[in-house]
């Protein structure tokens, strides 16, 4: 695995399967009396959040703490300095504090990439969501959830998602979750179909490794998992769709549509859900909806990522330099 | 000698020897535990797990309690003290028998006892899982050169070695044959311990 | 400057417009003679053998930033950069602080240019007050001022209101002015960060669609035709824009257009690095657009190269993409990029370069002393280029106050060895005189 996790597109199939397998082992920790491993003792993980996201932050925090890392939460939102300066200055501060990994959530697409390549810091960078670009750990936990639910063998260890048909529905244009999932799921061998009104499909999507449909009903019958993306009501004001009602009718998942899915197929949602918009309460609360499971799996996936980035010597840049100087 | 092994590696235990020492260890466990009622066998991946299963089968034979000896695996990767010396490793399975280890006699099983660091890590890992009545250690080969105050309770074969030598245990389940090979560093196949 | 009016300089063996070697004798502010075996007559002799002699370059689109953003550039540093790049005249864009929308501000810039002495500075006036597209600025007063403004532009912003654009086009006819339009439909480019296409879809950056440029150009060439005015299109960047301008010209309409050096060379693939040095407006487009722009410059559909030299302080680029300022410096690398993309590719000869970088921009800006032939009696505004030179761009050595070049570390051909502004060398041996 590389030193950073910036984009799901950077992961090879073997990288991705290794992360999923590692997470599968780490998930067993939840059944133990002591839900903690000493592995990252003495390592410092900084959660650098330029955007509010309590859910993602606590997931990373729990993951780091279960691996015994020291966790510093740095909420940079509402800083008075210009946004650009504050990313660089904040990075330099974190570097001075000896951060071994920086988990960054930022409103600007590419900010984690910039942090990893600018030379401002030496630690590993983990993208916890950047603008409308990517959210790779979300895609990993989604893939993990699918593998567990859809696997032929026990929890699917060692397997990818070859031949699985995954449908991603909703605001693809503004979704970092969709971008990361398209990359990761196709790397894992799944057949991905995006379903959205044409206004919410990115211009240039034809270069993506997936199919595109404007008709949810044409797709739900032949899918192994339907992933519903959150659709913000404000998009209506920018004329992406006429009304909430029309959106829900054409692209929402209700009980009738769910009933037409194959029996084994699951419903996924990265949360937080807009009940009544992209998903009805009936579907959200059904056994087939994995939203809560996805949250639990998120901790295992983030533990796996932190372990694989920080658990060995590859990412320990500072240590490597010390050795070289001997 | 097997064609796959280098000329410099020589076999110090063959399949019949391994079978014999495992049977002996099983008897010793029963003897020291005065039966095997509360014994839990935990193998350290990879080959320790196969050895633990073989020992469990023998214990069941000796005690006449088929399927009654709990056996599991204990991955110690996350507890190693040398993690930062190598790239992050893939994890192996930790499988604790359903009834747990609290109050039981846990016998850790590994293929080769060398520096003792693996067993130190295993003791730490055990501490996070429960509180056994006692912990004992069974190994197929003790090659010496301890770096920690750790010793085995049951030893298949004491094998005095130099640090330039490597000890490689092969088991049918993983390697297609049973043997213990002694070679020189860089001459035995795979990861000699 | 202490040089006497009759000081003589002899350029020996220069390839005038890339042609056969000639001696060019400069006397005072003018070219005294062009021929072979000329005598320096006690003046300075410069061995120009093998080098290309061009008329002094003219930039229609330069951001000198003064007044208001002297941390990024001043008229002095900007004109020094211009001289190093072989320019003898630049048009200073109006988006300063305060905006150059009054006679007072354009005269201030014009005066600062005079004082700098490195190249002529022709201020551009804003079309609307404060560049906000609502109310016409005092275009006539700016024209009548000492600065004699002929080119008006809200560059940085589009004059998007069709009625305002029409009125401006009509109004400047009274003094042979031209509106230079920054073609960008504002609603279609809200939140735009880069070219809208395959790369923006992957990077999750807001898209700047080609149609936002092309729709405005289409409207404005129609407006210009309707009211019989001339319109100039700034920094044309798409293949579609080329087609519209080509069509407008075929109708005989008075439309001119410019292209920047960076749009002749760079594509949006570079944005994958998320390095804000590639953030510019209009954005870097695709390979197909680059090729169409080169062709259009070669066949004259695009009239000229203009740098859109846009200096920014380090901190405005040393940040994440979304927070970064748009723009690139370009004066000091423009001729090298044109040589690399147009001359070395065989698309344009040196006569063509002289036409696209001096003659035509002078004509569009109605400059009288620039863009002239290299002949006896003409003003000695000249640029000598060592076209055989190959060098790696090192912004640390820039004369500009800013370093935001997309070419750092890139090898480019050609180096300006001498620039003459009315007979006086502003650049000697590649260094400021």
Buried b (16+ CB within 10 A) or exposed e, C309-330: bbbbbeebbbbbbbbbbbbbbb
Chains contacting B (3+ CB pairs below 8 angstroms): A
Contact B51, B26 (CB under 8 A): no
Distance, CA of B52 to CA of A79 (rounded, Å): 58
What's the pLDDT score for residue A85?
54
Distance, CA of C356 to CA of C290 (rounded, Å): 17
- Burial zone of C346 (CB within 10 Å; 0-12 exposed, 13-18 middle, 19+ buried): exposed
Top CATH class, C57-365: alpha beta
What's the pLDDT score for residue B186?
67
Best of A21, A33, A311 to disrupt the B interface by mutation (most B CBs within 10 Å)?
A: A311
Residue length of chain A: 326
In chain A, the residue whose alpha carbon lies closest to the alpha carbon of C193 is A109
Question: pTM of the prediction?
Answer: 0.90
Is A3 part of a structural domain of the chain? no
User: Of A126, A127, A124, which Cα lies nearest the Cα of A320?
Assistant: A124
Best of A87, A110, A111, A135 to disrupt the C interface by mutation (most C CBs within 10 Å)?
A: A110
- DSSP assigned state of A232: -
pLDDT tens over chain C, length 433 residues: 444 557 899 999 999 999 999 999 999 999 999 999 999 888 999 999 999 999 999 999 999 999 999 999 999 999 999 999 999 999 999 999 999 999 999 999 999 999 999 999 999 999 999 999 999 999 999 999 999 999 999 999 999 999 999 999 999 999 999 999 999 999 999 999 999 999 999 999 999 999 999 999 999 999 999 999 999 999 999 999 999 999 999 999 999 999 999 999 999 999 999 999 999 999 999 999 999 999 999 999 999 999 999 999 999 999 999 999 999 999 999 999 999 999 999 999 999 999 999 999 999 999 999 999 999 999 999 999 999 999 999 999 999 999 999 999 999 999 999 999 999 999 999 999 9
B87 Cα to chain A: minimum distance (Å):
4
The reply to whether A186 and A120 lie within a common domain is no
Summarised one tens digit per residue, pLDDT across range C126-151 is 999 999 999 999 999 999 999 999 99
What's the pLDDT score for residue C2?
47
Three-state SS at A111 = helix
B1 pLDDT above the threshold of 50: no
The strand pairing partners of C46, in sequence order, are C11
- A131 assigned binding-site residue: no
CA distances B13 to A105, B20, B143, B156, B169, Å, are: 57, 10, 13, 10, 9
What's the pLDDT score for residue A31?
83
Three-state SS at C194 = strand
Average pLDDT over all residues of chain A = 90
Question: What CATH number should be reported for the domain holding residue A100?
Answer: 3.40.50.1370
B53 pLDDT above the threshold of 80: yes
Span A223-234, mean pLDDT? 92
Distance, CA of A197 to CA of A239 (rounded, Å): 11
The reply to whether A84 and A129 lie within a common domain is yes
Ramachandran sector of residue A271 (left: φ over 0; alpha: ψ -120 to 50; beta: rest): left
Contacts of C276 (CB under 8 A, 6+ apart): C317, C318, C319, C320, C321, C324, C325
Is A51 part of a structural domain of the chain? yes
Distance, CA of C238 to CA of C229 (rounded, Å): 24
What's the pLDDT score for residue C5?
59
Is A178 part of a structural domain of the chain? yes
Q: What token pair was written down for B128? A: 């996070």
What's the pLDDT score for residue B178?
95
Residue of higher predicted confidence among A89 and A85: A89
Span B106-124, mean pLDDT? 97
- DSSP assigned state of A258: H
Average pLDDT over all residues of chain C = 96
**Angle at alpha carbon of residue C300, lines to C378 and C278, rounded to 5°:** 100
Span B35-50, mean pLDDT? 93
ipTM: 0.89
- A22 assigned binding-site residue: no
Summarised one tens digit per residue, pLDDT across range A178-194 is 999 999 999 999 999 99
Summarised one tens digit per residue, pLDDT across range A28-66 is 888 888 889 999 999 999 999 998 888 999 999 999 999
What's the pLDDT score for residue B2?
42
**Any alpha helices (H) in chain B, and if so which ranges?**
15-33, 47-63, 117-129, 172-175
Domain count across chain A: 2
What's the pLDDT score for residue A232?
82
- A288 assigned binding-site residue: no
| Full domain range(s) for residue A49 | 8-135+295-318
CA distances A203 to C16, C167, C209, Å, are: 49, 36, 9
Top CATH class, B10-184: alpha beta
CA distances B101 to A94, A294, B98, C49, Å, are: 43, 31, 9, 92
B88 pLDDT above the threshold of 90: no
* Chain B partners within 8 Å of A317 (Cβ): none
Summarised one tens digit per residue, pLDDT across range A109-123 is 999 999 999 889 999
The reply to whether A89 and A221 lie within a common domain is no
Q: What token pair was written down for C173? A: 């006819």
Other Cβ atoms less than 10 A from the Cβ of B153: the count is: 16
Other Cβ atoms less than 10 A from the Cβ of B102: the count is: 12
Contacts of B67 (CB under 8 A, 6+ apart): B60
Nearest to B83 among A1, A34, A39 (CB): A39
pLDDT-derived band of residue B35, with 50, 70 and 90 as boundaries? confident
- Chain A residues within 8 angstroms (CB to CB) of chain B: 1, 18, 21-22, 25-26, 28, 32-34, 36-39, 67, 307-314, 316, 319
Span A197-224, mean pLDDT? 96
Segment (H or E) for A301? helix A291-310
* Chain C partners within 8 Å of A107 (Cβ): 322
Distance, CA of C314 to CA of C277 (rounded, Å): 10
The reply to whether A90 and A219 lie within a common domain is no
CA distances C350 to C16, C54, C353, Å, are: 9, 8, 5
* Chain C partners within 8 Å of A176 (Cβ): 204
Chains contacting C (3+ CB pairs below 8 angstroms): A
Task: Specify the pairing of strand A44-49 against strand A70-75.
Answer: parallel
Task: Specify the pairing of strand A266-268 against strand B165-170.
Answer: unpaired
Distance, CA of A102 to CA of A111 (rounded, Å): 12
Boundaries of every domain in chain C: 8-52+377-432, 57-365
Contact A120, A102 (CB under 8 A): no
Q: Which DSSP string corresponds to C313-334?
A: -GGGTSS-GGGSPP-B--TTTH
- A83 assigned binding-site residue: yes
CA distances C155 to A225, C182, C406, Å, are: 50, 5, 21
Distance, CA of C295 to CA of C106 (rounded, Å): 35
The reply to whether A74 and A194 lie within a common domain is no
Segment (H or E) for A104? strand A101-106
Span A19-31, mean pLDDT? 92
Q: What token pair was written down for A2? A: 């590389």
Q: What token pair was written down for B59? A: 């214990």
- As a three-state string, the secondary structure of C255-293 is EEEEECHHHHHCCHHHHHHCCHHHCCCCCCCCHHHHHHH
Summarised one tens digit per residue, pLDDT across range B54-64 is 999 999 999 98
pLDDT-derived band of residue A2, with 50, 70 and 90 as boundaries? low
CATH number of C8-52+377-432: 2.30.40.10
C374 Cα to chain A: minimum distance (Å):
48
The reply to whether A211 and A253 lie within a common domain is yes
Contact A111, A125 (CB under 8 A): no
CA atoms within 13 A on the CB side of C23: 19
- DSSP assigned state of C90: E
What's the pLDDT score for residue A323?
30
CA distances C29 to A35, A114, B75, C134, C363, Å, are: 85, 51, 87, 44, 21
Task: Give the start-end residues of each E strand in A191-313.
Answer: 191-195, 211-213, 225-228, 266-268
Distance, CA of B137 to CA of A206 (rounded, Å): 60
What's the pLDDT score for residue A237?
79
User: Of A301, A296, A293, which Cα lies nearest the Cα of A67?
Assistant: A301
Residues of C with catalytic function: 308
What's the pLDDT score for residue A233?
78
What's the pLDDT score for residue A77?
66
What are phi and psi for residue A174, nearest 5 degrees?
A: -100, 10
Is there a contact between A84 and C273 if contact means CB atoms under 8 Å apart? no
* Chain A partners within 8 Å of B88 (Cβ): 1, 307-312, 314
**Chains A vs B: touching, with 3+ CB pairs under 8 Å?**
yes
What are phi and psi for residue C246, nearest 5 degrees?
A: -60, -45
Nearest to A85 among C197, C205, C319 (CB): C319
Span A289-301, mean pLDDT? 96
Contacts of A218 (CB under 8 A, 6+ apart): none
Residue length of chain C: 433
Distance, CA of A55 to CA of C264 (rounded, Å): 46
The reply to whether A39 and A121 lie within a common domain is yes
What's the pLDDT score for residue B42?
97
The reply to whether A249 and A174 lie within a common domain is yes
What's the pLDDT score for residue A82?
45
Is there a contact between A309 and B78 if contact means CB atoms under 8 Å apart? no
Q: What token pair was written down for A311? A: 């658990």
- A3 assigned binding-site residue: no
Span A150-173, mean pLDDT? 90
């Amino acid at each position: 695995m590389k030193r950073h996790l910036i984009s799901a597109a950077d992961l090879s199939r073997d990288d991705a399967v290794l992360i999923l397998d590692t997470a599968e082992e780490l998930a067993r920790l939840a059944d133990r009396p002591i839900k903690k491993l000493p592995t990252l003792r003495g390592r410092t993980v900084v959660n650098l959040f330029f955007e509010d996201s309590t859910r993602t932050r606590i997931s990373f925090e729990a993951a780091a703490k279960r691996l015994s890392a020291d966790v510093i939460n740095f909420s940079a939102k509402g800083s008075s300095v210009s946004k650009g300066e504050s990313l660089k200055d904040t990075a330099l501060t974190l570097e001075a504090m000896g951060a071994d990994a920086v988990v960054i959530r930022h409103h600007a697409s590419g900010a984690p990439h910039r942090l990893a390549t600018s030379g401002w810091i030496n630690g590993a960078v983990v993208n916890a969501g950047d603008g409308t670009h990517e959210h790779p750990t979300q895609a990993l936990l989604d893939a993990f959830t699918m593998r567990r639910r859809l696997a032929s063998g026990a929890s699917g260890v060692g397997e990818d998602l070859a031949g699985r048909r995954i449908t991603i529905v909703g605001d693809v244009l503004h979704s970092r979750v969709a971008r990361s999932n398209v990359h990761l799921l196709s790397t894992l061998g799944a057949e991905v179909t995006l379903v959205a009104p044409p206004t919410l499909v990115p211009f240039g999507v034809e270069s993506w490794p997936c199919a595109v449909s404007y008709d949810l009903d044409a797709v739900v019958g032949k899918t192994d998992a339907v992933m519903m993306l959150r659709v913000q009501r404000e998009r209506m004001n920018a004329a992406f769709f006429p009304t909430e009602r029309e959106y829900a009718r054409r692209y929402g998942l209700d009980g009738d549509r769910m009933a037409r899915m194959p029996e084994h197929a699951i419903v996924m949602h990265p949360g937080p859900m807009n009940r009544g918009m992209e998903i009805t309460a009936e579907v959200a609360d059904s056994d087939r909806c994995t939203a809560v499971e996805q949250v639990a799996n998120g901790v295992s996936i983030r533990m796996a990522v932190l372990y694989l980035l920080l658990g060995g010597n590859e990412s320990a840049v500072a240590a490597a330099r010390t050795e070289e100087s001997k | 000698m097997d064609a796959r092994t280098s000329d410099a590696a020589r076999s110090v235990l063959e399949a019949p020897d391994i079978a014999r020492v495992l049977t002996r260890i099983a008897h010793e466990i029963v003897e020291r535990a005065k039966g095997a009622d509360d014994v839990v066998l935990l193998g350290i991946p990879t080959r320790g797990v196969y050895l633990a299963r073989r020992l469990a089968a023998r214990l069941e034979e000796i005690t006449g309690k088929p399927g009654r000896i709990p056996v599991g695996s204990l991955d110690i990767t996350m507890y190693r003290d040398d993690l930062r010396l190598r790239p992050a490793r893939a994890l192996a399975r930790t499988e604790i028998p359903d009834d747990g280890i609290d109050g039981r006699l846990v016998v850790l099983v590994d293929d080769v006892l060398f520096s003792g660091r693996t067993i130190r890590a295993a003791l730490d890992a055990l501490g996070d899982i429960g509180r056994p009545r006692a912990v004992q250690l069974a190994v197929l080969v003790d090659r010496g050169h301890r770096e920690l105050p750790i010793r085995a309770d049951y030893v298949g074969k004491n094998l005095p070695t130099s640090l330039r030598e490597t000890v490689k245990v092969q088991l049918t389940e993983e390697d297609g044959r049973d043997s213990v090979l002694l070679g020189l560093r860089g001459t035995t196949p795979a990861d000699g311990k | 400057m202490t040089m006497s009016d009759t000081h003589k300089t002899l350029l020996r063996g220069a390839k005038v417009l890339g042609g056969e070697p000639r001696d060019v004798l400069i006397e005072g502010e003018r070219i005294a003679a062009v021929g072979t075996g000329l005598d320096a007559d006690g003046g300075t002799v410069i061995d120009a053998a093998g080098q290309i002699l061009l008329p002094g370059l003219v930039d229609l689109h330069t951001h000198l930033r003064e007044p208001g953003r002297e941390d990024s550039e001043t008229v002095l540093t900007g004109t020094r950069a211009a001289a190093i790049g072989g320019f003898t005249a630049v048009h200073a864009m109006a988006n300063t602080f305060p905006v150059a929308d009054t006679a007072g501000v354009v005269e201030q810039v014009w005066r600062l240019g005079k004082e700098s002495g490195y190249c002529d500075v022709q201020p551009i006036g804003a079309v609307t007050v404060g560049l906000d597209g609502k109310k016409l600025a005092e275009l006539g007063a700016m024209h009548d001022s000492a600065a004699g403004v002929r080119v008006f532009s809200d560059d940085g912003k589009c004059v998007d209101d069709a009625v305002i654009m029409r009125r401006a086009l009509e109004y400047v006819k009274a003094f042979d002015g031209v509106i230079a339009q920054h073609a960008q439909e504002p609603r279609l480019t809200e939140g735009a960060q880069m070219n809208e296409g395959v790369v923006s879809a992957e990077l999750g950056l807001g898209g700047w669609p080609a149609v936002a440029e092309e729709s405005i150009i289409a409207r404005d060439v129609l407006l210009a035709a309707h009211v019989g005015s001339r319109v100039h299109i700034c920094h044309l960047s798409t293949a579609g824009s080329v087609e519209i301008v080509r069509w407008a010209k075929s109708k005989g309409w008075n439309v001119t257009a410019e292209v920047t050096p960076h749009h002749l060379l760079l594509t949006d693939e570079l944005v994958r690095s998320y390095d804000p040095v590639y953030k510019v407006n209009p954005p870097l487009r695709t390979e197909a657009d680059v090729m169409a722009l080169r062709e259009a410059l070669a066949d004259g559909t695009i009239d000229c190269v203009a740098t859109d030299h846009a200096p920014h302080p380090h901190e405005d680029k040393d940040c994440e993409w979304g927070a970064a300022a748009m723009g690139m410096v370009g004066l000091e690398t423009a001729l090298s990029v044109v040589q690399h993309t147009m001359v070395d590719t065989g698309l344009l000869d040196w006569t063509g370069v002289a036409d696209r970088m001096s003659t035509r921009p002078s004509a569009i800006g109605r400059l009288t002393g620039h863009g002239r032939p290299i002949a006896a009696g003409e003003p000695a505004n000249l640029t000598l280029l060592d076209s055989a030179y190959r060098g790696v761009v090192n912004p640390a050595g820039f004369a500009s106050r800013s370093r935001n070049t997309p070419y750092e570390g890139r090898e480019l051909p050609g180096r300006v060895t001498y620039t003459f502004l009315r007979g006086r060398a502003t650049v000697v041996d590649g260094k400021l005189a």
